[in-house]
Amino acid sequence: MTLARTHTMALLGLAGHPVEVEVDIADGLPSYTLLGLPDAALSESRERVRSALVNTGAPWPNRKVTVSLSPAWLPKSGSSYDLPIAAALLMAQGIIPNEENSQRILLGELGLDGQVRGVQGVLPALLAAKKSGAREAIVSHINYHEALAVEGMRIVPLMTLRDLISFLTTGEIIDLPKPDERSVLTQLDLCDVAGQSGAKRSLEIAAIGGHHLFFIGPPGTGKTMLAERIPSILPALSEADSLEVAAISSIAGQWSTQGAISRTPPFISPHHSTTAVAMIGGGAHQVRPGACSLANCGVLFIDEAPECGKGVLDSLRQPLESGSVTISRSIATMSFPARFMLVLAANPCPCGKFSGRGRSCTCTSLQIRRYLQKISGPLLDRMDIRVFVEAPTRAEMASTQAHESSSDIRARVVKARAIAAERFAGEEWTLNSEIPPSALRKRYLAERSAMAILHQELDLERLSARGFHKVLRVAWSVADSNGHANPTKDDVEIALEMRTGMENFL
């Protein structure tokens, strides 16, 4: 029989689609035809597969070879199809048993010497394959630890094409060490930050409800130190969220081979010179997730925010509202999750010294205004909490008293989130920042006196409709922190101060 079939997966964003690889060897002039909308990297697979087979000691069929990737309408890209094509060629020639197994998928790139190299996106591909009924995956040894994260599937690692022939003929599997689950990444701790009790309190409230933060203050006051320590006070990710975060990292080629999947929320801090495509995602030949998707379920921190290029920060406005990014290209439309906590940091002026009495500032009022206007009003309206970070006093710097650690703050955050989870049982959301406006106006109102304050601010046009809802959401986080069943007048006043405390400055 000169017809053989193997199975693999195609990725469009995080969505995986089963692909059937058919190889037919027929009489005729020696040729190689690849069907099924392949991209340039996939079209070059002919030479990689041919050299790998020959250097492994297997023959290359000097006949008419037709390779079909089905479904034919689905665009296919990358070099992960090398391994299933090579396996189908070996089956069609009778070198290995020609037994079609729809529950087995193959993923891997072939070197010219027959080595099986790793590819990107193995984790999301296997997760999608498991949903479609696959129970066995043959991958490169480089992707072995990544593939083991998918429970319920038998993972077969390969180092060379000879290992594939050996496994499919004798069932022998090469032995590789398991990932070290004891490896723990060292986290930064908030006890390193001297003073800044108000900023730390704002961090705690933001962590409880998943609210967005805007730090402004002179250089050297600790804005970056505070932001970098936010993951240390956030609760550990759930299993589903950690798999989603790892899947995005796998597609972006940033998978860590040090150990098992991390439960620590990601912290992504792109340079302020980054482009809008790098921030949101995209690409000409291969669409990849951007910084906002890599920060999914974690923190996206942008330091020196006013120095970002035109339109880069404003490109985040849609992901902040929808929690996802949709990238449309001529071949397909792909979506990536983007549920992150946005943290911006900025100096108060170009020289950075416009604070306190402002005697050291050399900027004119026009320069200060233009500098801060680089952050648009619509983006500022989406920032729930705005904090002016003052320089710590001499007494705070010289104090030898132990500062509160991240573990203490995280314990309070976990307790407050548990209260919110109990309140939102049966709802589609879990965090205060995710409460829809309709539910806020009907089922999750504050006390009457507290609502009167918000309505007054709305009537005086000091709050937009979005700002009204955001203050109420922050008030729920403050109430959870204080152990109140409903936001009180004091809770709403604190939330309002966190949002409007810098309005005179901005």
pLDDT averaged over every residue in the chain: 89
Quick one: tokens of 90? 């070996």
* pLDDT band at 180; cut points 50, 70, 90: low
Q: Rounded mean pLDDT of 105-110? A: 96
Mean pLDDT check: name the lowest of 113-117, 281-285, 354-358, 451-455.
Answer: 354-358
Q: Is the pLDDT of residue 459 over 80?
A: yes
Q: What is the mean pLDDT of residues 288-300?
A: 94
Please state the rounded mean pLDDT for residues 280-299.
Answer: 89
Determine whether 242 is exposed, middle or buried from the number of CB atoms within 10 Å of its CB (0-12, 13-18, 19+). Answer: buried
Top-confidence residue, 399 or 461 = 461
| pLDDT score of 395 | 79
Give Rg (Cα) of the chain. 28
What is the per-residue pLDDT across 262-285, written as a single tens digit (0 to 9) for each? Answer: 889 999 999 999 999 999 998 777
Q: Which amino acid is at 401?
A: Q
The owner of tokens 């320069």 is 367
Confidence of residue 506 (pLDDT cuts 50, 70, 90): low
- Both tokens of 311, joined, read 């339109």
Three-class secondary structure of residue 184 per DSSP: coil
The reported pLDDT for the residue numbered 1 is 54
Tell me the pLDDT tens digit for each residue of 132-175: 999 999 999 999 989 998 999 999 999 999 999 999 999 888 88
pLDDT bucket at 183, cuts 50 / 70 / 90: very low
Statement: residue 402 has pLDDT above 70: no
Confidence of residue 434 (pLDDT cuts 50, 70, 90): very high
Contact 391, 220 (CB under 8 A): yes
Domains of the chain listed by start with CATH number: 3-170 (3.30.230.10), 190-423 (3.40.50.300), 435-506 (no CATH)
163 in Cβ contact with 140 (< 8 Å): no
Q: Is the pLDDT of residue 257 over 60?
A: no
CB 354 within 8 A of CB 505: no
Given a contact cutoff of 8 angstroms between Cβ atoms, the answer to whether 467 and 385 are in contact is no
**Rounded to 5°, angle at Cα 341 from 338 and 347:** 125
- pTM summary value: 0.89
Q: What is the mean pLDDT of residues 451-470?
A: 91
385, pLDDT greater than 70: yes
pLDDT of residue 186: 58
Burial (CB < 10 A; 0-12, 13-18, 19+), residue 233, is buried
Q: What's the whole-number mean pLDDT along residues 117-138?
A: 94
On the question of pLDDT at 400 being above 80, the answer is no
Q: DSSP label at 309?
A: P
pLDDT bracket for residue 310 (50, 70, 90):
confident
In the structure, what pLDDT confidence band is assigned to residue 176 with cuts at 50, 70 and 90? Answer: confident
Name the β-bridge partners of 334: 327
Residue 387: pLDDT over 50: yes
331 or 492, higher pLDDT: 492
What mean pLDDT comes out for the span 81-95? 95
Percent helix / strand / coil, the chain, rounded to 5: 40, 20, 45
Mean pLDDT of 244-260: 79
Q: How far apart are CA 240 and CA 245, in angstroms?
A: 9
High-pLDDT (> 70) share of the chain, %: 94
Confidence of residue 221 (pLDDT cuts 50, 70, 90): confident
| Residue closest to 89 by CA, chosen among 46, 137, 144, 145 | 46
- Beta-carbon count within 10 A of 23 CB: 24
